[in-house]
Structure 1
């Protein structure tokens, strides 16, 4: 299992932003399996993978994906806020 959990240039799961996001997602989880499940499901359900959605920029590292996701979420929230005022 250790082979699959190694940090690399692409798999930067120990990046501070990734760690903070994982902590927020897994609040209330009692076991490592529960944490893995909610983190997997959050990524599956919340992250639009740039290649699948033909989005730019094309991201690779987890920290890059999270950065783009955060920016997109902020823009989406702002647009919804504007729409609600119209």
Structure 2
């Protein structure tokens, strides 16, 4: 499973997300997609953790939480079409 994290500030880095999500378990991977033309982050990310239990705990706690002046949208990532 992977976690979708939306409504992020464009300045957010992998290290920032790792700091936030490591409070809920071990972070395996973080991916912050960038715009192909500008190279600028697109305002969302995907986070993978070691267990589904850790991911569920992070989703339940962080969805709607205020971080860096924005209300995060955190839920289970949907499979790509």
TM-score normalized by structure 2? 0.35
Q: Which has the higher contact order (CA 8 A, sep 6+)?
A: 2
TM-score (normalised: structure 1): 0.33
**Per residue, is there more helix in 1 or in 2?**
1
Q: Which has the higher strand share?
A: 2
State the structure with more CA Rg: 1
